[in-house]
Amino acid sequence: MEHTGDGSRFVLVAGTTETAQRDGISAAGADPELMVETPAADAELLAYGRPVRTEHVPVSPSGCPTPALVTRAVRELLGFEATVVDGGLAKPTAAPTVTVGAGVGRDIAEQDPVPTAHGAFEAARQFGRALPADELWLAESIPGGTTTALGVLRALGEDAMVSSSLPANPTEQKRAVVEAALEASSLAPGDAAAEPKRAVRRMGDPVLATLAGLAAGAVETDTPVTLAGGTQQLAVAALVRHGGYEGRLGLATTAYVADDETADLRASAESLSLDLTVTDPGFDESDHVAMERFVAGEAKEGVGMGGALALADRAGIAMAEVRERFAAVYDDLLDG
């Protein structure tokens, strides 16, 4: 691995929410059982470039590979530092992890789905304050995470809509789940606008709580933060803004999320005053099987893919080179 030595550190928060077990809500795994393992496998892919304790490279039901392979490919080209935080993993991972006390997230239609949210936020905040880095890039892996992100946005009174790992966003189903969650927590939209930790505990997931803590700790110590991801990171940004922080915050995502008409990422990023970077990996210029499902609208983002692409772009690496390395990583793991 080469080293850019520019002091950028990638932090992947990997965890779970049982909300993902609902039929048709997520494509971040081949089936509901394998989905539980996706974040543990994504962490291994980022750290080692292959599954170690987990048995499969995560793919969607139709075979779209995890975006972790894109992030890994860029990491092999750039050599940026990467740290994994356990944001509520449900399966063992062989990736070294930092613990913040985050437990598995339960379905948000239950009354108290993330009892570990407050503790994880505070522990992550301390970690974010202390972690040496010139710049932090915060990434996520949590199947079902766009639905819990919608829950948090509504609890905070933000009207942003979320994207999806599926080509056809199940927006009505997500709205219904969030309605049920609001009811279970006796909340109306906006009721938790002044209480971000309550919003994430009652309506969110452990990864969002951990990411918000990391971002808060970093901004308190003037470390520049870029949220690497799509609409789930809007919920993280909203948690940080509703916590009273008004300074600079970046959001780096893919063209696939930015162009998703079922969400409106650009408008939402603007209303949360985020410095937005959108990068198009140009997968449509390839006919490699690893890329064709992305071009068909699957996955779109995840495991910091948009942030990794932005780092590559900033380092002057052509997207053709990123595509080539991604294809090589895919062929090594999944071809034959």
Helix (H) or strand (E) holding 238: helix 231-242
Taking CB under 6 A as the binding criterion, the range among 19-27, 79-87, 119-127, 321-329 that sits at the site for ligand AAM is 19-27
> Is residue 26 involved in binding ligand AAM (CB under 6 A)?
yes
> Could you tell me the smallest distance in angstroms from the CB atom of residue 124 to ligand AAM?
18
In this complex, which beta carbon is closest to ligand AAM, that of residue 206 or of residue 243? Answer: 206
| One of 8, 38, 54, 71 touching ligand AAM (CB under 6 A) | 38
Exposed, middle or buried, 81 (CB in 10 Å: 0-12/13-18/19+)? middle
The phi and psi torsions of 21 (rounded to 5 degrees) equal: -75, -10
> Is residue 233 involved in binding ligand AAM (CB under 6 A)?
no
DSSP 8-state class, residue 104: P
Provide the 10 A C-beta neighbour count for residue 332. Answer: 11
In this complex, which beta carbon is closest to ligand AAM, that of residue 143 or of residue 250? Answer: 143
> Number of residues in contact with ligand AAM, rule: CB under 6 A?
24
- Residue 168 CA: distances (Å) to CA of 26, 68, 128: 10, 21, 36
The phi and psi torsions of 52 (rounded to 5 degrees) equal: -120, -65
| One of 87, 143, 151, 243 touching ligand AAM (CB under 6 A) | 143
> Could you tell me the smallest distance in angstroms from the CB atom of residue 46 to ligand AAM?
11
Give me the helices (H) in 221-282, please: 231-242, 255-258, 265-271
The encoded tokens of residue 14 equal 């990997």
> Could you tell me the smallest distance in angstroms from the CB atom of residue 295 to ligand AAM?
14
In this complex, which beta carbon is closest to ligand AAM, that of residue 166 or of residue 243? Answer: 166
- Smallest CA-to-CA distance from 28 within 189, 133, 140, 196 is with 140
> Is residue 251 involved in binding ligand AAM (CB under 6 A)?
no
| One of 15, 49, 58, 128 touching ligand AAM (CB under 6 A) | 58
Helix (H) or strand (E) holding 213: helix 206-220
Binding residues for ligand AAM, rule: CB under 6 A, are 20, 26-28, 38, 42, 58, 60, 66-67, 140-147, 164-166, 299, 302-303
